[in-house]
Structure 1
């Protein structure tokens, strides 16, 4: 058995422990280097995953699986973590003497996500989920002197614990009726019984909370607004993608469409999520809160691909999850820069940003247009795959709702662009952005444009990743 395929998880875990220990032993001297160590280790994880992308191995009788699907998401998590750490360089002063713990928790959250992507067992998924969410509970409340951050952390802890209990209860019902927790073995051991249906509903509800799908979205706006902006970024892109990675594996293998027609339920859930997320976003004046509701709507678009459960739909889920990392991280990176320079993320704080920092305004505009699905940005190609899958599956109405909501989203995205290019601001000085954050901004900008202009590379990568489902 080739245990070297577990190197990404082992490396990330070891570095997380190392960073934590260095911070405890060397204190001030270590804090200057822990960020570099964490960043380089995540780059190494990304390279390892890409180099061995097509290698597959099943460990521990199906409990843990390394395959193209898991490797795709591991690359996504490592890439998102790299961008978040680069962007957090301008936020470090607010973390005071807790820098080592920040990087360690980021590493542990990333390990939890990778475990969720490779888990072939319900309990392994739950372990990965809890490792990720416990790290996020702490990171959300990381600004101890900030009342909104502490409140957000407490809310996330309470609501997250409830959702985890619901998810675990659903898993226990499935185990009781199937006699196994291995995902690939569940389908052959179950039949349609009321208790099983209840278990599936509870599992779906637990994951719907993690991906902020309506009606389990109520936590997202307050937590996104109160958490430190780099943590909000990782919550929006990493945590959501991890939820979809596990949800997709469960619904395709453990509860197949040949036995349970769950696609219509997911289609309705996707439609509600798109509508509620976009309509409430229209009224928001705080950009972080607006992006929170936008993130809810984006979950609806991805759910449309999962509901389709065909080649276009599943490829669209992975394709959109990857491009969402660049578009959303870019938007939040600009919000971080504005918050650091002005102390606010209200839309008024973005006034005249086009004059004060043309690059920040350009990145924000392009990333928001990508989230809206405007060609030739990456978001257009992603939504094309998702809605094409929905149409092929017979959900023309779902694709129409998705298209309509995408058009509505243009309005509140352009309100931010209007403030940046037309709004007035008494402050005329240029905004300062540290070099690592500038690098993250450039990566997000170029990737958003290049994926939109030439989607074939990512499309082929996503196609290879979903081959295990075909």
Structure 2
């Protein structure tokens, strides 16, 4: 076995253990605050290792674990998203009433689960990776135990996620029971459109639909997003969703493509309903985290459009949109973190007068939200263009038109936030005290969002190569 293929995962485990031990050894809380910087440094180093492996290909341990450009692209996405999220969260995490080392270690373990999902080539690795990610998020969502909303969110996420995982596990057992194989290669050779197989695939789709927060499996996301600590909400909105997409694409396109006539109409319906429900309900939200929760549901609908195409162009659109979604969300949640620490509130009114108190943060928030709405020249426009062109080429013109209309509707509620920032009256005129790390993260997300919108070519080429390796 070539252990170099799983060197990033080995390094992640070592990093998590190191952070916990360091947290126990450092003498006081002030010195332990430096653990966050070590976590970011370690994750960045591991990302460089994955980038160096981008062109490599191979399998590990009886073909159960696969390394290809598709997996490497998602791993880079996860590591970049988590590194940037931690970078703007240092001051916020220092205020949490527990050891910070535990917090950072659990985030590193959640990344390990995500990377396992991206490389899973069989049902066992898939479920173990999902379990590692889920258990980490169970702890992280309820980490702020002095906040009743965080505790409530943690319990809700535990119960609902465990239920969806149980349904998914039963579906996996049905697939294994019929095909006699846990590997995707073995399943594709034995798959037939029989009731047991269809029921198994439906249950797996239900479980993964919960993770990506697609309607009607979205009921958990608004409450959990609102109650969880801001950095954890950012990771749920970005990484958890994209990790579920990573394994969903592998299962549908590598394990059961013969059943496309059965699952494709379901994906079409999920995409359409998610775009409609997410955008319509978001218009009535006053809490910024709940607004972004429903926006995230709509984003899941846009991403599902790429799966509807079920070809390299559609997968390229998902990968491209997923990467730019990282920068847009990081920018938005960085600003939310600054506002939360300054005002102690998370409603849209807390952003009133932000353009006069912290002009840079107001610009970053505006650009991030408009990118999620798909307004040119922000990166979101290019991402949605790739997704909608892919479905139009497959004859789903109506779905692309629906996505365009829903994107225009999203502009309304995003501009409500901009209206508060630029025309709202501030409740106080105290200047914002923003850390250097948060400012750098906000600037990086702003530059990346604009640059990828104006010059999307290099990232689009990487996404094309990664999508081609899936087929």
TM bucket (normalised to shorter chain) is over 0.9
Which residues in structure 2 correspond to 1:110-129 (within 5 Å)? 110-129=111-130
Report if aligned partners of 1:77, 1:110 keep a CA contact under 8 Å in 2: yes
Instruction: Give the secondary structure class of the aligned counterpart of 2:66.
Output: strand
Q: After the TM superposition, which of the residue ranges 427-436 and 237-246 deviates more from structure 2?
A: 427-436
Q: Structure 1 residues 244, 26: closer, same or farther in 2, change over 3 A?
A: same
Quote the residue 1:392 is aligned against.
393
Counterpart residue number, 1:230: 231
Q: State the partner residue of 2:168.
A: 167
Give the match for residue 433 of structure 1.
434
2: CA distance, partners of 1:192 / 1:212:
27
Q: CA RMSD in A?
A: 1.2
The structural deviation recorded for 1:312 is 1.9
- The answer for the alignment partner of 1:84 in structure 2 is 85
Q: Deviations over 1:106-127 (max 9, x none)?
A: 1000011001000101111111
CA distance in 2, matches of 1:192, 1:102: 45
In 1, the alpha carbon distance for the partners of 2:427 and 2:23 equals: 42
Distance in 2 (CA, whole Å) between partners of 1:266 and 1:108 is 30
For residues 27 and 84 of structure 1, the distance between their equivalents in structure 2, rounded to whole angstroms, comes to 26
Q: After superposition, what is the alpha-carbon deviation per residue over 1:375-410, rounded to whole angstroms, capped at 9, x for unaligned?
A: 010000000011011111111111111001000000
- Deviation at residue 27 of structure 1 after TM alignment: 5.0
Match of 1:318 in 2: 319
**Aligned pairs (5 A) from 1:252-401:** 252-257=253-258, 260-401=261-402
Matched position secondary structure for 1:58? strand
SS in 1 for 2:293: helix
1:172-227, CA deviations, whole angstroms, 9 ceiling, x for partnerless residues? 00000000110122010121101111101000000000000000000000000000
How far residue 258 of structure 1 moved from its aligned partner, in angstroms, is 6.5
Preserved contact between residue 263 and residue 308 of structure 1 (Cα < 8 Å): no
**How much has 1:5 moved relative to structure 2?**
2.3
Distance in 2 separating the partners of 1:33 and 1:424: 37
> Post-superposition shift, 1:33?
3.3
Contact (CA 8 Å) 2:96, 2:144: kept in 1 or not? yes
Q: Deviations over 1:93-112 (max 9, x none)?
A: 32134201001001000011
Aligned to 1:449: 450
Task: Give me the whole-angstrom Cα distance separating, in 2, the residues matched to 1:326 and 1:178.
Answer: 41
Tell me what 2:421 maps to. Answer: 420
Match status 1:35 vs 2:36: yes
**1:461 aligns to 2:462 (yes or no):** yes
3-state DSSP of counterpart to 1:382: helix
Question: In the alignment, which residue of structure 2 is the partner of 1:182?
Answer: 183
Distance in 2, matches of 1:369 and 1:181, equals 43
Give, in whole Å, the separation in 2 of the partners of 1:371 and 1:437: 21
> 1:50–1:75: 8 Å Cα contact kept in structure 2?
yes
TM-score calculated relative to the size of structure 1? 0.98
Q: Distance in 1 between matches of 2:260 and 2:375?
A: 38
Are positions 1:209 and 2:210 aligned together? yes
3-state SS of 2:138 partner: helix
Unaligned runs of 5+ in 1: none
Greater alpha carbon shift after TM alignment, 86-95 vs 8-17: 86-95
Per-residue CA deviation, residues 119-142 of structure 1 (Å, 9 max, x unaligned), is 101111111111111111111011
Does residue 2 of structure 1 match 2:35? no
- Give secondary structure in 2 for the equivalent of 1:65: strand
For residue 326 of structure 1, give the secondary structure of its aligned residue in structure 2: helix
| Residue-pair matches, total | 470
Deviations 1:235-281 (A, max 9, x none): 10000000000000000011104664422210111000000000000
Distance 1:31 1:460 in 2: 41
Match of 1:18 in 2: 18
Q: Following superposition, which runs of at least 4 residues in structure 1 exceed 6 angstroms of deviation?
A: none
